[in-house]
């Protein structure tokens, strides 16, 4: 997954000559943060179930 993301970023970097690239990076970072929050919430639920 990380390799794919890096390749997509590199491709976008030379494809884009305007501010679209920065916008895509912000969207991707927001998606990563959302995924991390979901993983943390899931982890807390699992810990509650176990204890």
pLDDT in tens, 2-46: 565 666 666 655 555 555 666 677 888 888 899 899 999 998 998
Q: pTM for the complete prediction? A: 0.48
User: Both tokens of residue 26?
Assistant: 């912000």
Contacts of residue 16, defined as CB under 8 A and 6 or more positions apart, other chains included, come to 24
Total structural domains in the chain?
A: 1
Q: Can you say whether the dihedral through the CA atoms of 19, 21, 24, 29 is positive or negative?
A: negative
The domain of 30 spans: 2-50
The 3-state secondary structure of 1-51 reads CHHHHHHHHHHHHHHCCCCHHHHHHHHHHHHHHHHHHHHHHHHHHHHHHHC
Task: Tell me what pLDDT residue 24 has.
Answer: 75
């Amino acid at each position: 997954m990380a390799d794919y993301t890096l390749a997509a970023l590199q491709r976008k970097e030379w494809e884009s000559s305007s501010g679209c690239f920065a916008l895509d990076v912000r969207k991707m970072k927001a998606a990563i943060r959302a995924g991390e929050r979901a993983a943390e919430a899931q982890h807390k639920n699992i810990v509650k179930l176990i204890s």
